[in-house]
């Protein structure tokens, strides 16, 4: 089963402070930074995707209350079918009737949040 790229999405208190911290560690903004200067007050614009080598970290201010492990599979519906066949309970399921990109969410036994996001 191809889970695609992996990243960690972090719930941060101040995206600018977190961006500065990760830039000092050698990460670069690859998405999100270009919109915040144009729409600084929009809820959905307080985010950055940072990258160093093959590591991606998403910084999200005020968008969710917890950290999330994120996979980007080419076919989220195939992942959903496989996980459900293994008895794994999903919090949010993809629409099996649609062909558009979708996502599923679940928690591991310790309450860690996992998202499979097809984009």
Determine contact, residues 16/23, Cβ cutoff 8 Å: no
Q: What is the CA radius of gyration of the chain?
A: 15
Rounded Cα distance, 3 and 97, in Å: 21
CA distances from 2 to 39, 108, 111 (A): 36, 19, 23
pLDDT digits (tens, 9 = 90+) for 24-51: 999 999 988 655 454 455 555 688 999 9
For the stretch 46-93, pLDDT in tens is 889 999 999 999 999 988 899 999 999 999 999 999 999 999 999 999
Q: How far apart are CA 92 and CA 106, in angstroms?
A: 7
Separation between Cα atoms, residue 99 and residue 77, nearest integer Å: 9
pTM over 0.85? The answer is no
């Amino acid at each position: 089963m191809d889970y695609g790229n992996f990243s960690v999405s972090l719930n941060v208190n101040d995206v600018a402070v977190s961006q500065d911290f990760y830039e000092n560690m050698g990460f670069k903004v690859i998405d999100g930074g270009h919109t915040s200067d144009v729409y600084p007050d929009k809820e959905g614009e307080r985010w950055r995707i940072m990258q160093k080598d093959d590591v991606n970290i998403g910084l999200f201010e005020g968008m969710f209350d917890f950290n999330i492990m994120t996979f980007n599979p080419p076919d989220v519906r195939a992942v959903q079918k496989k996980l459900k066949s293994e008895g794994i309970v999903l919090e949010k399921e993809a629409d099996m009737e649609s062909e558009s990109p979708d996502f599923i969410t679940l928690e591991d036994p310790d309450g860690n949040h996992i998202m499979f996001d097809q984009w």
